[in-house]
Amino acid sequence: MAKVLVVTSGKGGVGKTTSTAALGAALAQAGEKVVVIDFDVGLRNLDLVMGAERRVVFDLINVVQGVAKLSQALIRDKRLDNLWLLPASQTRDKDALTDEGVRAVIADLRTKFDWILCDSPAGIERGATLAMRYADEAVIVTNPEVSSVRDSDRIIGMLDSKTVKAERGERVEKHVLITRYDSARAARGEMLSIEDILEILATPLLGIIPESQDVLKASNVGSPVTLNNAASAPARAYTDAARRLMGETVTMTVPVERKGLMNRLLGRRAA
Amino acid sequence: MNLRRLLLGGRTASAPVARERLQILLAHERGLRGQSDLLGLLRAEILAVVSRHIVLDPDKVVVRMDRGKTVSTLEVDIEVPNGVERLLAAAAN
């Protein structure tokens, strides 16, 4: 049974695209057949983070409008052959997406993949509502920061009212993914703690991704962080989160950076 | 306070402030979210029922919900034009 998972947040810049790429790659590494879809029409970036920006010929809008077939628009990852990307259009705007078109594309993808990950644009407008519209599950990406938590709360309200599942009286299964977490700052009381965020949002936790330079390094080279450096702290956290999505029970930890002795002696961060 | 400052190494923890501000704000926003449709619906239906008998200014129909800890109150405030009693009496005859 295929699962449609929306990666959403309300607020921009919290790590939706990074998380979609990392979770998609981690699920594919675990043997699942995965497609990641960019819903950010006009401001696509999932192609860039996945390192497929030069391979885009057709996109989601072309498929929705019948200009291209789904098979023509899907881009197969060069590293994992069971990972695919459906890019957004860079030249059109969000109005080019229609509810009926998205419904048809998702229904078609359900017959071909185990996981369909929808990378939502920021905001609560058309692109974001269509990205969540047909979801079975949702990952709400949240930073330990007041504006992000507030927007996540708003998005949770929309997942409970504006999705097809909610309209049928069913529930979209929701998970909070906390990104850019700094346990030292949280311990000093300078950052909202995991407990604070979970209590406020009243939604179960999928994982805690530590603040790390590895995330930027991975996007610099166009590789999901789980593929670029699987041993890094954020990669381990994303891999654990992906295993939880697959139904495994994995102990919740905040992976920490492993610094080499020389770096530690020199007080230098790994470059 | 001094002890806390000492424990936190001279810094003031801002996370508890963030947490409290969020809790207050979200309690308010969630309330609005749940209510807006119900109150709008109530207002429209009340307006329709009363308008069958009295000509009303729609802006003078106010439906408000106050949520208390144990009980909540629904307040319906309808301003009717003067001389409405005479009209009602005439209509009854």
Strand partners, A85: A36, A75
Q: Which residues from A are below 8 Å from B14, CB to CB?
A: 189-190
Residue of B nearest to A186 (CA): B15
Q: Would you place residue A268 in the very low, low, confident or very high pLDDT band (cuts 50, 70, 90)?
A: low
Please indicate if any CB of chain B lies within 8 Å of the CB of A150: yes
Please indicate if any CB of chain B lies within 8 Å of the CB of A193: yes
Q: Which two tokens stand for residue B12?
A: 């003031």
**Residues 6 or more apart in contact with residue A166 via CB below 8 angstroms:** A159, A160, A172
Mean pLDDT of all residues in A160-173: 95
Q: Which of A161, A194, A196, A198 to mutate to test the interface with B (most CBs of B within 10 A)?
A: A196
Q: So what's the pLDDT on residue B39?
A: 77
Q: So what's the pLDDT on residue A134?
A: 98
Q: Which residues from B are below 8 Å from A146, CB to CB?
A: 18, 21-22
Please indicate if any CB of chain B lies within 8 Å of the CB of A153: yes
Q: Cβ B15–A196 below 8 Å, yes or no?
A: yes
Q: Which residues from A are below 8 Å from B22, CB to CB?
A: 146, 149-150, 192, 200
pTM for the model:
0.79
Q: Would you place residue A271 in the very low, low, confident or very high pLDDT band (cuts 50, 70, 90)?
A: very low
Residue, of B34 and A134, whose pLDDT is higher: A134
Residue of B nearest to A198 (CA): B19
The pLDDT of residue A135 is above 70: yes
Q: Would you place residue B25 in the very low, low, confident or very high pLDDT band (cuts 50, 70, 90)?
A: confident
Q: So what's the pLDDT on residue B64?
A: 81
Q: So what's the pLDDT on residue B56?
A: 84
Q: Cβ B26–A150 below 8 Å, yes or no?
A: yes
Three-state DSSP state, A4 = strand
Strand partners, A137: A5, A173
Three-state DSSP state, A232 = coil
CA angle A149, A154, A156 (to 5 degrees): 90
Cα distances (angstroms) measured from residue A258 to each of A116, A234, A237, A267, A270: 33, 11, 14, 13, 9
A181-190, A259-268, B38-47: which is most confident: A181-190
**What span, in angstroms and rounded, lies between the C-alpha atoms of A187 and A208?**
15
Query: Considering CB atoms only, which of B9, B13, B23 is closest to A200?
Result: B23
Q: Which of A11, A192, A193, A203 to mutate to test the interface with B (most CBs of B within 10 A)?
A: A192
Query: Considering CB atoms only, which of B13, B25, B26 is closest to A190?
Result: B13
Q: So what's the pLDDT on residue A265?
A: 61
The pLDDT of residue A117 is above 60: yes
Q: So what's the pLDDT on residue A270?
A: 44
Query: Considering CB atoms only, which of A149, A157, A189 is closest to B13?
Result: A189
Q: Cβ A189–B16 below 8 Å, yes or no?
A: yes
Q: So what's the pLDDT on residue A263?
A: 59
pLDDT digit string, tens, across residues A193-212:
999 999 999 999 999 999 99
Q: So what's the pLDDT on residue A71?
A: 96
**What span, in angstroms and rounded, lies between the C-alpha atoms of A129 and A178?**
21
pLDDT digit string, tens, across residues B37-73:
677 788 888 989 988 888 888 888 888 877 777 888 8
Q: Which residues from B are below 8 Å from A190, CB to CB?
A: 11, 13-15
pLDDT digit string, tens, across residues A35-85:
999 999 999 999 999 999 999 999 999 999 889 999 999 999 999 999 999
Distance from CA of A23 to the nearest CA of B (A): 29
Q: So what's the pLDDT on residue B34?
A: 61
Q: Would you place residue A222 in the very low, low, confident or very high pLDDT band (cuts 50, 70, 90)?
A: very high
Q: So what's the pLDDT on residue B2?
A: 54
Distance from CA of A204 to the nearest CA of B (A): 18
The pLDDT of residue A102 is above 80: yes
Q: So what's the pLDDT on residue A91?
A: 82
Which ipTM was obtained for this model? 0.78
**Buried b vs exposed e over A217-246: b needs ≥16 C-beta within 10 Å?**
bbbeebbbbbbbbeebbbbbbbbbbbbbbe
The pLDDT of residue A267 is above 70: no
Q: Cβ B19–A200 below 8 Å, yes or no?
A: yes
Q: So what's the pLDDT on residue B87?
A: 65
The pLDDT of residue A172 is above 50: yes
A/B interface, count of CB pairs below 8 Å: 43
Q: Which two tokens stand for residue B50?
A: 């009363």
Q: Average per-residue pLDDT in chain B?
A: 77
Task: Count CB neighbours of A138 within 10 A.
Answer: 28
Tell me how far apart the terminal alpha carbons of chain B are, to the nearest angstrom: 75
